Amino acid sequence: MQRPERMLHVVQGEYAITAEPDAVLTTILGSCVATCLYDPIARVGGMNHFLLPGDTGAASEGMKYGVNAMELLINGLLQRGAMRGRLEAKLFGGAAVMSNLSDIGSQNAAFARRFLQTEGIQVVGASLGGDRARRVRYWPTTGRATQLWIDRNDVFTAERRARPAAPPPQAGDVELF
């Protein structure tokens, strides 16, 4: 009997590594980028999810920057028996979901490609850019990935549903802006 899949959600500024055959790493991306790495011999893989390219910022904010997220993911995989020369990468995200903002998505995508090329890690698949969010599922012990495009209205509706309504202010409450 096949074991049920165990979903592990990777949110902004996080990464996950596993060799568990029933694990599926998931994330939702807009302008952020997720890098999925897999070693086919060690059968271990992982995913990161970063918000900004580069490496500036306070140490406490480090995982939101691509360089930190990439280093932690790669080093974590190496510690679990992966070899750099065998790693295969798949990249997702980097969309321009808000037309009135800077194109941080394309900067994130370019950073990820450049970083992996410098590290000698082969990109075997990528879905970068566009103007829509995507939901990614990644099976880290096989390297398989799927992507579901998310309609702009679906994302905003889901965000509104997920946020609980604020309770009405009570007498004496102070509201800060």
Domain residue spans of the chain: 6-152
Over residues 33-80, the pLDDT tens digits come to 999 999 999 999 999 999 998 755 544 455 688 999 999 999 999 999
Residue of 29, 32, 44, 77 marked catalytic: 32
pTM: 0.81
Q: Give residue 59's pLDDT.
A: 46
- Work out the number of other CB atoms within 10 angstroms of the CB of residue 50: 28
All residues at 6 or more sequence positions from 24 whose CB lies less than 8 Å from its CB, including other chains: 5, 6, 7, 8, 137, 138, 139
Mean pLDDT of the chain, nearest integer:
85
CATH code of domain 6-152:
3.30.1330.200
Annotated active-site residue 32? The verdict is: yes
